[in-house]
Chains A and B, each alone.
Chain A
């Protein structure tokens, strides 16, 4: 079964540093997403991306965050000047189309656990 791959699985960074979280979506999927889950809390939408541009973003996704599809396979989330409250599990997801295929939904990657110290 196709998978969304995320690297690294764990990252520890110092407050104020920049981090890049990497994702390889499923190859025939066209829509890509980032979600995050702070420990013990609900999964929260950050951003959706289609056709090389952001299609929607939440209020969490401020100027500190950016996304990029640098080549035909990778999709990255960059966090500039990390803060303690950025510590969370970050999930990448992809879907076939904008109106989700009801049989498969979004496929989530296994996540990157980011710890800011």
Chain B
């Protein structure tokens, strides 16, 4: 089976930096996605890590350690519009994703 764990909720202040962790135990691993999901909307792609290390993309960075089964998403210079659920998803098998429950980030002024 696939087991992906994320904290459920965090609150942070506008302009701050927040780190969202994800640990996983899966049978098979091709890579790891991070998606952003606003309530009632579709997940939107943020990043995809295959190799160990940090991938930076503007205000968002994602880190992967395959040996530790661990990833994090770093959000810098938080904005109010960043209030959303952040989903960690393991890409495995031929072509399928196993999602975590998502981490709800609430940005306050």
Contacts and interface: CB of A to CB of B under 8 A. Distances in A.
Interface stretch (A12-20, A71-79, A80-88, A99-107): A99-107
B1 to A, nearest CB: 10
**Chain B interface extent, by class:** 20 to 34
A42 B42 contact: no
A48 B94 contact: yes
A46 to B, nearest CB: 9
Interface in A18-66: 31, 33, 35, 41-45, 48, 50, 55-56, 58
B101 interface: yes
A55 B87 contact: no
A115 interface: no
Interface string B76-88: 0000000000010
**Chain A interface extent, by class:** 20 to 34
Contact of A95 (B50, B95, B100): B95
A110 interface: yes
A104 B46 CA distance: 9
B45 A105 contact: yes
Given A108-B42, A111-B41, A42 B99 contact: yes
Given A56-B93, A108-B43, A110-B41, A102 B98 contact: no
Interface of B: 30-31, 33, 35, 40-45, 48, 50, 87, 89, 91, 93-102
8 contacts: A31-B95, A45-B96, A48-B96, A56-B94, A89-B40, A104-B45, A106-B97, A107-B45
Given A48-B94, A108-B42, 12 more contacts: A43-B97, A45-B96, A45-B98, A48-B95, A48-B96, A99-B95, A105-B45, A105-B48, A108-B44, A110-B42, A111-B41, A111-B42
